[in-house]
Chain A
Amino acid sequence: MAFHVIDRRLNPGGKSLENRQRFLRRAKAQVQSAVKKSSQDRDIKDVLEGGEVSIALDGMDEPRFRREGGTRDMVLPGNKKFVEGDILPRSGEGGGRKSQPGQGDSEDAFRFVLSREEFVNLFLDDLELPDLAKRKLAEAESEGLQRAGYATSGSPANISISRTVSRALMRRVALRRPRPQAIAALEAELAECEDEERRTELEAEIAALKAKAKRIPFIDPIDIRYRRFETIPKPVAQAVMFCLMDVSGSMSEHMKDLAKRFYMLLYVFLKRRYRHVEIVFIRHTDRAEEVDEQTFFYGPASGGTLVSSALHAMNDIVRSRFRPSDWNIYAAQASDGDNSISDSEAVSRLLTGSILPVCQFFAYLEVGEAGGYSFEMPDSSLWSLYERLRGNGAELSMRKVRDRSEIFPVFHDLFQRRANQEKAS
């Protein structure tokens, strides 16, 4: 009898992806809180690795009519010593039943693995770029091309062959251009034909058809169509992220670590929104310099503190390399809040005058030593300065952090999706 073997191994995988998405959508709230919880204890690098989460199946159960209790009769295999009429005392007290295996809620809490993509999506799901981003996006546009039908003129590279040929066919049919087969048939008949009169007739006919075919070309210039493209404005899809950090002696390793974590989160977040994200590291003491990542976080440096130097450096870099119309500019500044009093004037001028207008978002993170609560941190000189600027309408986001576990909540807080999109801070 006939019989088939089919190799299904090469079929595309991920057949259950749609079901999985439905499941994740349904379990979103639970998965999300599980993701948040599991991310608190992890390093940021690992946070993005995805991994296993465990969720309670609240609202995810599939109820059925089941029964419990009552008198039960069981037939079991493997009798050793029982005889009819024996009474076996129940294990446990008060007539408690032994739990029936295979029943009950074995799936009450269950663990499963999220892919990296899913993890990051859920992790950052309720975050959004602050409102200011839109203001900039509307102005800063580049141009892209989009198909827009056909045109009668254009460059040869854009000829649409199928459209051209079909128009030529239409024209040939409409003008009744003789088909080559018709001519060939007549010629064949001519070759066979003995009758002289008929031959002349045929010859005349063939000549007429050939002339007509010549008059009506196979493809006429009027048939030719070109694919048309329109330029359309495209939102800028690249961003640059400035990391400014105070590396003066007062910044401890712990503080730098906090700052690093914040930067990484910001990077991941931007990476998700923009195709291309660049990072510029600027560290400063009483003077600022652009450095690579290693030096930024681990390089030794010492000196006083002048915040304006970093802002200066950033401003220069923006001018020379990142035209605000082409780039979305984000900046995050981390510092322990020390700044010399004399610098305040310069800082506020730079910020309000040149940096804030070109930035989508400027965040200031004040890091403190571990222990204690962040709201107990006294206002530093930089903090009070920024506070004042904000009071004057500058769009600044600022937070204090002193413990690792606060980083994500603070970040989350800064970018939380707000119902009425109030000012982001």
Chain B
Amino acid sequence: MTERLFEGADWDFLTLQRVHDACEDVARGELGLDTYMNQIEVITAEQMLDAYSSVGMPLFYRHWSFGKHFAFHEASYRKGLMGLAYEIVINSSPCISYLMEENTATMQTLVIAHAAFGHNHFFKNNYLFKQWTDAEGILDYLEFAKRYVKSCEERYGHAAVEHTLDAAHALMSHGVDRYPGKKNIDLREEEKRAGQRRAHEEAAFNDLWRTVPSGPAKSGKVLSIERRRKLLGLPQENLLYFLEKSAPRLAPWQRELLRIVRHIAQYFYPQSQTKVMNEGTATYVHYRIMSRLHKQDKISDGNFLEFLQSHTNVVFQPEFDDPRFSGFNPYALGFAMMQDIERIVSDPTDEDREWFPEIAGTRDVEDVLRGIWANYRDESFISQFLSPSLIRQLRLFHLHDDPEERAGIKVDAIHNERGYRRIRRELAKQYDVGYIDPNIEVVDVDLAGDRRLMLRHHVIKGAQLYDTDAKRVLQHLADLWSYDVVLQEVDANDKVLKEYVLNPRIQPAAA
């Protein structure tokens, strides 16, 4: 009989070591996972709250909004309104997982399998993460960001820095590149670059230049619209990038702050696109590992039952008419799909063979899954692999809600032969960032005239911006741009539905 990893609920650091090694055997040997080196950190509840308030990162620059989130989380945690996560995992190399100290031994095993192997593998292999994030450099970059923000606060005052960061945060959702550029991001290089730039500025500073007469102003050649837009790289949907490069009156440090916020937004961009897959992968991996450990008798029946109980809680999907329902649970959907794929690969029905000829019955479950984990995001994953059998199992249906239709909401498709494809398409759309985020881009700047910045929101299916928030965000945008900002909401026929015009507030100490 093999030795158990632990007995009961207690654990110590040697237990964690044994658990990690046992999980690693299964993860590598059986599932063929390829992970970053693991770093497991045991933390307290307060530290977990800390991590919550700084979007899960171990260090972050200082900003009041994090203090607000902390106060909010702390209050609801103390009142017992909110439980804390068992772990937090960070996409970095080495991959850092935070484990709560009050977890039982079983829970620690679960979260090590889940985070340190499941998420870790996903981070290292998924194409979005490879393309958009620099796991090696992120922690150093955050350290740099923290120091930089601090030095800015010392040099230019809390208020000015706070103002710039507020504005940058408001635009954060529109501070990402959606299409891959020419080169991969290297955050270490970024940090060096910022230092060099400042050193150069200081070295090259010569006040005399200010006094040199500049000669007669060049007569304003009227650029054609095409040329002007080309010069400014328009249309541009990355608002932060555009401001960083083209806002006429920002100080260099403000541009650097925008750049920092933009890089961080970009770092999180893949995570928002792969919630279902990421959690599905991790849940599937922990389920496989735990079951294997139990089969090898490394975990007792009692502990395995404890695991099953929390696993069931995690993958619980309330139905739409359940008061607990609040959208799809990414753990549940992801795990169900992974298991469904496992079934299709190893034991397909005729229907599966017809729908998934490439993978049905190929028998190598791990290989197929690894391929999927590496090459898909939520939207493409669902539109490819949501099977009719799973649609039936979850009893999915599609509602079409048109406010013009007085009679009510129409049931557009249900889980039958006619409905499968439509349901799959619509569900995939719910996870498509192109649909989730409003499509807003900079279209023009009136450089010769009053330097007004023109933005356009392409309205999809009549969903316009929420007025109060839009005005506040645009106000921040106008403050950064320093001149008027115009946002037009246009529908598919280029008809203007609504127009916002915002003037910059006068900023103290920012020019």
Contacts and interface: CB of A to CB of B under 8 A. Distances in A.
A88 B463 contact: no
Given A77-B319, A78-B394, A110-B72, A19 B39 contact: no
Contacts of B20: 3, 5
A364 to B, nearest CB: 41
B430 A75 contact: yes
B153 to A, nearest CB: 10
Given A84-B412, A101-B326, A112 B64 contact: no
Nearest to B332: A77
B79 to A, nearest CB: 9
A294 to B, nearest CB: 36
Interface string B27-42: 0000000000111111
Contacts of A67: 438, 463-466
Contact of B70 (A20, A71, A76): A20
A245 to B, nearest CB: 41
A9 B47 CA distance: 8
Interface residues of A, number: 63
B65 A62 contact: yes
A72 B62 contact: no
Contacts of A13: 44, 46-47
Interface string B390-434: 000011111111110011111111111011000100110110000
Interface in B300-350: 317-322, 326-328
A76 B98 CA distance: 33
Contacts of A113: 71, 74-75, 78
B42 A7 contact: yes
Interface in B4-44: 13, 16-17, 20, 24, 37-44
A69 B44 contact: no
A95 B13 contact: no
Given A4-B94, A68-B466, A70-B463, A16 B53 contact: yes
B412 A64 contact: no
Given A16-B53, A86-B410, A88-B409, A111 B403 contact: no
A21 B67 contact: yes
Interface stretch (B168-176, B189-197, B280-288, B446-454): B168-176
Contacts of A23: 64-68, 70-71
Contacts of A4: 38-40, 94
B72 A65 contact: no
Interface string A89-104: 1100001010001100
A79 B416 CA distance: 12
A75 B317 CA distance: 14
B68 A6 contact: no
A19 B437 CA distance: 29
Interface in A321-349: none
A5 B322 contact: no
A73 interface: yes
Interface string B435-451: 00110100000000000
Contacts of A64: 170, 172-173, 469, 473
B42 A22 contact: no
A84 B463 contact: no
Given A79-B414, A111-B75, A22 B162 contact: yes
A19 B70 contact: yes
A113 B327 CA distance: 31
B470 interface: yes
B379 to A, nearest CB: 13
A388 B319 CA distance: 79
B320 A78 contact: yes
Contacts of B64: 19, 22-23, 25-26
Nearest to A103: B466
A157 interface: no
B416 A73 contact: no
B407 A77 contact: no
A98 to B, nearest CB: 10
A180 interface: no
Interface in B458-483: 459-466, 468-470, 472-473, 476
B408 A88 contact: yes
B150 to A, nearest CB: 9
B68 A8 contact: no
Contacts of A95: 403, 406
Contacts of B476: 63
A102 B401 CA distance: 19
A78 B411 contact: no
Contacts of A147: none
A22 B63 contact: yes
A111 B437 CA distance: 30
B78 A69 contact: no
Contacts, number: 246
Given A67-B464, A78-B395, A84 B416 contact: yes
Contact of B409 (A11, A87, A102): A87
B101 interface: yes
A22 B67 contact: yes
B295 interface: no
Contacts of B401: 71-74, 97
B158 interface: yes
The listed residue with most A CB atoms (<10 A of its CB), out of B75, B409, B426, is: B409
A66 B70 contact: no
Contact of B423 (A52, A75, A78): A75
B53 A68 contact: no
A3 B38 contact: yes
Contact of B394 (A77, A83, A102): A77
A76 B463 contact: no
Contact of A83 (B24, B42, B411, B468): B411
A89 B41 CA distance: 52
B507 to A, nearest CB: 17
Nearest to B317: A77
A22 B44 contact: no
A111 B81 CA distance: 13
Contact of A77 (B40, B328, B413): B328
A188 interface: no
B473 A65 contact: yes
The listed residue with most B CB atoms (<10 A of its CB), out of A6, A11, A23, A25, is: A23
Contact of B75 (A52, A77, A90): A52
A23 B427 CA distance: 39
B170 A73 contact: no
B47 A83 contact: no
B352 interface: no
Contacts of B319: 77-78
A88 B411 contact: yes
Contact of A16 (B50, B317, B412): B50
The listed residue with most B CB atoms (<10 A of its CB), out of A13, A65, A83, is: A65
A19 B463 CA distance: 36
A63 B98 CA distance: 30
Interface in A12-58: 13, 15-16, 18-27, 52
Contacts of B39: 3-4, 6
A107 interface: yes
B174 A65 contact: yes
Contacts of B403: 69-71, 95
Closest 6 CB pairs of A and B: A78-B319, A23-B67, A70-B463, A70-B462, A19-B67, A63-B472
12 contacts: A3-B40, A5-B42, A16-B67, A19-B70, A22-B158, A62-B169, A62-B170, A63-B170, A75-B398, A78-B395, A82-B397, A110-B71
Interface of A: 1-9, 11, 13, 15-16, 18-27, 52, 60-80, 82-90, 95, 97, 101-102, 107, 110-113
Interface of B: 13, 16-17, 20, 24, 37-44, 46-47, 49-50, 53-54, 62-68, 70-72, 74-75, 78, 94, 98, 101, 158, 162, 166, 169-170, 172-174, 317-322, 326-328, 394-403, 406-416, 418-419, 423, 426-427, 429-430, 437-438, 440, 459-466, 468-470, 472-473, 476
Given A62-B169, A65-B465, 6 more contacts: A5-B16, A18-B67, A64-B173, A78-B395, A84-B416, A113-B78
